[in-house]
Amino acid sequence: MYLLMPLDSLKNKKICIIFGGWSEEREISLMSGQAVYDVLKGSDYEVFILDLKNNKQMLSEFVNNNSIDIIFNLIHGKGGEDGLVQSWIEDLKIDYVGSNSVSSSTSFSKITTKKIWAEHKLRTPDFITSTELLNYLCDDKDSNITELKTEINKKCEVFFENNHKFVFKPSCSGSSVGIKIYDDLNLLLNDKKDILSNNTSEYLIEAFIDGSEYTAPIINGKVLPIIKIETKREFYNYEAKYLDDNTSFSFPEFSTEQELSIKEVCLKAFESLNCRGWGRVDFFIDKDINLIEINTIPGMTSHSLVPMSAKHLGMSYLQLVEELLINAKK
């Protein structure tokens, strides 16, 4: 798989790593960006690094003043992963690593992602949105019950009949920030009363899948070795991802047929959202593959899964970074 173009073409480019940002995932982004910068700097690339704030002009001036040719965006979470920064880069008309602004915006919303997967007949856990839940719970005595309200009521009733353990999560967030598991609806409602009543952000209540967790890194249209994730915590949360050395990662031995099937599903999930370049598809397996979410700017830290999978394939960290940069697009 490595490499698709001569390295000489990359050695002549001025590369800018943008990192940091302004989301809850800032600290992880700083680690990811620094790691990529260090490996390129140590390999004699002409590389720059920018701790980008929520300021389009800051990016524009830095790029123009340094005659940047390629941007590697490693800002995780809101701003960097939801299409905003991508739209700024697109206005500069230079190459960058990863999905474009439209697909980034689409895939950053877990609700939109799951709806698109459903349209493509891809299996993902049942869910309802926080808006639907609030509509379901509201008192209708003094209001006309619309057709939409009836449809929402039916959807919620079926959901709660079929599911008794739930995952409460923000629709637009990463690194497992804000996720909590409940096995009692009343406990969820009481615990999240303020968030639900505030209703400024959308959340989803997703059916809990009692199965093993996996992730499939994707690089330039190829699915890398699949990683199985095991943690002693309740689930693979922020601490398990970045701080806990007891989290276990392994490369499961699937049958050839099963591995091909899983990789086909993951690649279809990635492409159904028009993602490009690189990313990670997270999923559970009980009896079937249950797609959970897509990460279009995965971590590149010492704990991160994409470098781990690439290493298992025989790629060094530098080779992984070069592969991504060579395939940067406008």
So which residues are the catalytic ones?
25, 175, 242, 280, 282, 293, 295, 299
For the chain, the distance separating the N- and C-terminal CA atoms, rounded to the nearest angstrom, is 22
Distance (Å, whole) CA 264 – CA 259? 8
Longest dimension (CA), the chain: 72
Q: Shortest CA distance to 299 belongs to which of 12, 43, 32, 40?
A: 32
Six token digits for residue 43: 């390999």
Distance (Å, whole) CA 231 – CA 70? 37
- Helix H or strand E encompassing 17: strand 14-20
Helix, strand and coil percent figures for the chain, each rounded to 5:
40, 20, 40
Please name the residue that has the structure tokens 């340094």.
66
Residue 140: count other Cβ atoms within 10 Å of its Cβ: 12
The single-letter DSSP state of residue 329 is B
Distance (Å, whole) CA 82 – CA 73? 12
- Helix H or strand E encompassing 205: strand 203-207
Distance (Å, whole) CA 308 – CA 8? 26
The neighbouring-strand residues paired with 204 are 129, 169
